[in-house]
Amino acid sequence: MARVCDICGKGLRTGNIITRRGLPKAKGGIGLHTTGITRRRFLPNLQKIRVMENGGIAVRKVCTACIKSGKVAKA
């Protein structure tokens, strides 16, 4: 089951968690040093809702941005 919006296609995005150590130069330190970089995932906020589709009712996985913008008509 893919984590993808059925309306706009919004899906999984990836990024990094950057771990830093030290005191920033602006606060009187010698600067921040990166001690580790770990991959992370940004998941879309998907909701299962009943929508009106072709005169019938269907259950779709829709992101909250599509629900708020009115791209889907709730049943």
* For the chain, domain boundaries: 13-69
SS3 67: helix
pLDDT tens by residue, 45-61: 999 999 999 999 999 99
Q: pTM for the whole thing? A: 0.76
pLDDT tens by residue, 3-44: 999 999 999 999 999 999 999 999 999 999 999 999 999 999
pLDDT of residue 2: 86
> Is CATH 2.20.150.30 the classification given to domain 13-69?
yes
SS3 69: helix
**Residues 6 or more apart whose Cβ sits within 8 Å of residue 75:** 50, 51, 52, 57
Which of 43, 44, 45, 38 has the alpha carbon at shortest distance from 17? Answer: 38
pLDDT of residue 25: 97
Rounded Cα–Cα distance for residues 54 and 14 (Å) = 35
pLDDT of residue 1: 61
